[in-house]
Amino acid sequence: MWCLFFLSNVASVCVHADKADDDLEMTMVCHRPEGLDQLEAQTNFSKRELQVLYRGFKNECPSGVVNEETFKQIYSQFFPHGDASTYAHYLFNAFDTGHSGSIKFEDFVTALSILLRGTVTEKLQWTFNLYDINRDGYINKEEMTDIVRAIYDMMGKYTYPVLKHDAPKQHVDAFFQKMDKNRDGVVTLDEFILSCQEDENIMRSLQLFENVI
């Protein structure tokens, strides 16, 4: 009996140790990106640009991956007036194509490549992906309302004119008016791309960030 007691203690200690090791492992996860050449081939960036991007990325996330909390923090720093966490959450999901819960440098740079150097269609596809929160191929009103509300949240409280409570809803209604061609209550990818290509403002604004890097 005494032996059993002793052994059970030892076992529990071992289990605890393993658990501790697991915890330790999880916090120490480190990721190295693929080689520079591969990334250059996969994206539309030059080597120098990739270097610049990686240095900024690694500076902020020395472990090589960004988790959602850090992502939200970083993004919120650019919008001090309001609350950018909701939109950052959607952005994070859009960046994290593998749904792994963390963004690696490859994901980061791939998305940036699309956004900054991609074709119009690619950009619109990416944006559709962002809006389609549940990834079912359709944007419905609730998803769109969530997105628009998240965008308005970033504005904060002090705006001119004063933000009315139903402003997101009105915005969404206008959006659907424009995008939903067959009035079925959802927007598909094709409807989306078509409607956007018809709108000059959107086309022009998509080219706005060509030379960000």
Q: Which of residues 82-121 bind another protein (CB under 8 A)?
A: 91, 94, 108, 111-112, 115-116
Q: Is 211 in the site for another protein (CB under 8 A)?
A: yes
CA 41, CA 190: separation in Å to the nearest integer? 29
CA 127, CA 144: separation in Å to the nearest integer? 12
Q: Tell me if residue 97 falls in helix, strand or coil.
A: coil
Number of residues in contact with another protein under rule CB under 8 A:
45
Q: Which is nearest to 92 in space by CA: 69, 62, 60, 117? A: 69
Q: Which is nearest to 147 in space by CA: 80, 188, 90, 202? A: 90
Q: Which is nearest to 76 in space by CA: 67, 65, 64, 88? A: 88
- Stretch touching another protein by CB under 8 A, among 18-26, 28-36, 159-167, 168-176: 168-176
Q: Is 163 in the site for another protein (CB under 8 A)?
A: no
Q: Which of residues 44-83 bind another protein (CB under 8 A)?
A: 48, 52-53, 55-57, 59-60, 74-75, 77-78, 80
Q: Where do we find the tokens 């900024």?
A: 56
Residues near another protein, by CB under 8 A: 48, 52-53, 55-57, 59-60, 74-75, 77-78, 80, 91, 94, 108, 111-112, 115-116, 123-124, 126-127, 130-131, 147-148, 151, 171, 174-175, 179, 192, 196, 201-202, 204-206, 208-209, 211-213
